[in-house]
Amino acid sequence: MAELCGRYQISRETGYQRSERYRREGEAGLQDRSRALKRVIEFGVFPER
């Protein structure tokens, strides 16, 4: 896994996460995902208006 992650310049943690998503979802699991909503919910970060 370390060699593969190094080739694509991603952390091993990200590599293992994507590997698991690929196992569950196929190629769709390899697409980048927005973390915006997760951050709003977890940290209570709301844009000022």
Asked if the model's pLDDT at residue 8 lies above 80, the reply is yes
Asked if the model's pLDDT at residue 49 lies above 60, the reply is no
Asked if the model's pLDDT at residue 22 lies above 60, the reply is yes
Asked if the model's pLDDT at residue 9 lies above 60, the reply is yes
Rounded to 5°, the CA angle 4-6-7 comes to 65
Average pLDDT over residues 36-42: 63
